[in-house]
Amino acid sequence: MTIYYILLSAILGTYVFLGLYLNYMTIRDDIRREKERKAEKKRQDNNSTPLHRSR
């Protein structure tokens, strides 16, 4: 019976660890994408001078 508890704990621990890790990677990727989007928007705003807009 003890072996089952150890196995169950190991499987549950692995499941929790993988869940937290994948969540962390997803959030990190979202933050990186958001920074890139803001940088691109800022770059476009800098390029849109009155001369560029009048074309």
- Indicate the domain borders of the chain: 2-41
Q: Model-level pTM greater than 0.85?
A: no
Quick one: which H or E segment has residue 26?
A: helix 2-47
Q: At residue 51, does pLDDT exceed 90?
A: no
What is the pLDDT at residue 1?
Answer: 82
CA 10 to chain centre: 27
Q: What is the pLDDT of residue 45?
A: 76
4-49 pLDDT tens trace: 999 999 999 999 999 999 999 999 999 999 999 998 888 887 776 6
48 to each of 8, 34, 38, 39, how far by Cα in Å? 60, 21, 15, 14
Q: What is the pLDDT of residue 50?
A: 60
Q: What is residue 49's predicted lDDT score, i.e. its pLDDT?
A: 60
